[in-house]
Amino acid sequence: MRAHAMLWTYKPRKDGTCNIKIYVGFEGDKKYFKTKFHVLPSEFDDIKGEVKRNHPNHMRINAAIGEEKKRILDHLMNSGENLRTIEKVKKESFIDFLVTQRDEIKNGFTSLRPTTARNYTSLITRINQYRDSRKLKDLFFKDIDMNFYKDFQQFLHEDCNCGIVGFGKHIKIIKTVMRNAEDLGLHKNDTYKSRLFKRHRGKTSNKIYLTEDEIQAISALDLSFDPGLDRERDRFLVSYYFLMRYEDSRKIKAENFFKKSGRNYIKYKQEKTECECIIPVKTEVWEILQRRNFDLDSGSNPQSNRDIKTICAMAKIDQITKQGDQSAPKWKFVTTHTARRSAATNLALQNVNIKIIGDLGGWTDIRTLRIYLRASGLDSALVAKDLEFFN
Find out whether 90 and 138 touch, Cβ atoms under 8 Å: no
Looking at residue 103, its amino acid is D
Q: How far apart are CA 108 and CA 115, in angstroms?
A: 10
Binning pLDDT at 50, 70 and 90, where does residue 34 land?
confident
pLDDT for the residue 313:
95
Judged by average pLDDT, the poorest of 193-202, 305-314, 346-355 is 193-202
Q: In what order do the strands lie in the sheet with 2-8?
A: 2-8, 18-26, 29-39
Give helix then strand counts, H and E, for the chain: 15, 10
The mean per-residue pLDDT over the stretch 175-192 comes to 89
Please check the confidence at residue 311 and state whether its pLDDT lies above 60. yes
pLDDT for the residue 251:
92
pLDDT for the residue 80:
55
Going by C-alpha positions, the residue among 110, 125, 132, 129 that lies closest to residue 176 is 110
**pTM, two decimal places:** 0.60
Please check the confidence at residue 92 and state whether its pLDDT lies above 70. yes
Please check the confidence at residue 316 and state whether its pLDDT lies above 90. yes
Binning pLDDT at 50, 70 and 90, where does residue 74 land?
confident
Bridge partners (DSSP) of residue 349 are none
Binning pLDDT at 50, 70 and 90, where does residue 90 land?
low
Q: Which residue has the higher pLDDT, 6 or 385?
A: 6
pLDDT for the residue 28:
61
Q: Where are the beta strands (DSSP E) in the chain?
A: 2-8, 18-26, 29-39, 44-45, 50-51, 257-260, 263-269, 276-280, 320-323, 326-329
The mean per-residue pLDDT over the stretch 27-50 comes to 84
Q: How far apart are CA 35 and CA 21, in angstroms?
A: 6
Please check the confidence at residue 376 and state whether its pLDDT lies above 70. no
What are all long-range contacts of 21-29, with beta carbons under 8 Å and residues at least 24 apart?
22/65, 22/68, 22/69, 22/72, 24/72, 24/73, 24/76, 24/83, 25/1, 26/1, 26/76, 26/82, 26/83, 27/1, 27/82, 27/83, 29/82, 29/83, 29/84
Find out whether 311 and 284 touch, Cβ atoms under 8 Å: no
How is the chain split among helix, strand and coil, in percent rounded to 5?
A: 55, 15, 35
Please check the confidence at residue 186 and state whether its pLDDT lies above 60. yes
Each residue of 322-352: pLDDT tens digit?
887 788 999 999 999 999 999 999 988 888 8
Going by C-alpha positions, the residue among 60, 55, 53 that lies closest to residue 35 is 60
Binning pLDDT at 50, 70 and 90, where does residue 380 land?
low
Each residue of 100-114: pLDDT tens digit?
888 888 877 677 777
Instruction: DSSP letter for 181, please.
Output: H
Q: How far apart are CA 366 and CA 342, in angstroms?
A: 17
Highest mean predicted confidence (pLDDT) among 36-40, 56-60, 232-236: 232-236
Binning pLDDT at 50, 70 and 90, where does residue 268 land?
very high
pLDDT for the residue 154:
92
Please check the confidence at residue 374 and state whether its pLDDT lies above 70. no
Q: Which residue has the higher pLDDT, 112 or 281?
A: 281
Each residue of 148-171: pLDDT tens digit?
999 999 999 888 878 787 888 899
Please check the confidence at residue 52 and state whether its pLDDT lies above 70. yes
Q: How far apart are CA 231 and CA 296, in angstroms?
A: 8
Please check the confidence at residue 254 and state whether its pLDDT lies above 90. yes
